[in-house]
């Protein structure tokens, strides 16, 4: 299986069998994020304890890329501090811009499957939706 095929498989799996597409108990933060250009609409929920993301989930609808991207993001976020989560968002941004290093890419784990999106400008907003919503939750403007 080549890399492109593997990436497609990862995206499919997160889209068809998302691990985190459900509300969570006692969310600390919940925020709606929309991407009008595609019709993607998600609500992200995070539960924080002492600045660590201990649980997260999402609800909503949208294209396969937007939904898989949020699900993969949540896999990465659970167990991370707010600072670490924002650092990952920066790496994801760099991946989309095509300026990411191999070392950084490894930190994105399965989310690296969205690497090719950098060559598809129309889909970039779909891939960024979850990350953008997360940054906004933490008070960062995009
Ligand atoms: Zn979309």
Question: How do 52-61 and 40-49 pair as beta strands?
Answer: antiparallel
- pLDDT score, position 87: 97
Structure tokens at 80: 């991370």
The rounded distance, in Å, linking the Cα atoms of 127 and 79 is: 22
- Measured in Å, residue 24 CA sits from the centre of ligand 1 at 24
- Residue 16, SS3? helix
Which tens digits make up the pLDDT trace of 93-134? Answer: 999 999 999 999 999 999 999 998 888 888 999 999 999 999
Question: How do 29-35 and 52-61 pair as beta strands?
Answer: unpaired
- pLDDT score, position 118: 85
- pLDDT score, position 95: 96
- Measured in Å, residue 39 CA sits from the centre of ligand 1 at 6
Question: Half-sphere exposure of 52 toward its Cβ, with a 13 Å CA cutoff?
Answer: 6
Tell me the pTM: 0.95
- Measured in Å, residue 34 CA sits from the centre of ligand 1 at 10
Residue 142 has pLDDT above 90, yes or no: no
Which tens digits make up the pLDDT trace of 30-89? Answer: 999 999 999 999 999 999 999 999 999 999 999 999 999 999 999 999 999 999 999 999
- Measured in Å, residue 118 CA sits from the centre of ligand 1 at 14
- Measured in Å, residue 81 CA sits from the centre of ligand 1 at 28
**Spatial CB neighbours of 13, under 8 Å, sequence gap ≥ 6:** none
**Spatial CB neighbours of 20, under 8 Å, sequence gap ≥ 6:** 56, 57, 58, 70, 71, 74, 75
- Measured in Å, residue 91 CA sits from the centre of ligand 1 at 21
- pLDDT score, position 135: 97
- Measured in Å, residue 102 CA sits from the centre of ligand 1 at 26
């Amino acid at each position: 299986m080549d890399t492109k095929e593997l990436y497609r498989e990862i995206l499919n799996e997160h889209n068809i069998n998302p691990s985190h597409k459900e509300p969570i108990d006692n969310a600390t933060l919940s925020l709606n994020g929309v991407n009008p250009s595609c019709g993607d609409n998600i609500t992200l929920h995070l539960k924080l304890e002492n600045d660590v993301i201990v649980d997260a989930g999402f609800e909503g609808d949208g294209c396969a890329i937007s939904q898989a991207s949020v699900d993969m993001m949540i896999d990465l976020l659970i167990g991370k501090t707010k600072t670490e989560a924002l650092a990952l968002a920066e790496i994801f941004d760099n991946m989309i811009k095509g300026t990411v290093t191999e070392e950084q890419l490894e930190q994105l784990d399965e989310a690296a499957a969205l690497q090719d999106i950098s060559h598809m400008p129309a889909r970039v907003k779909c891939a960024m939706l979850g990350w953008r919503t997360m940054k906004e939750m933490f008070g960062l403007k995009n």
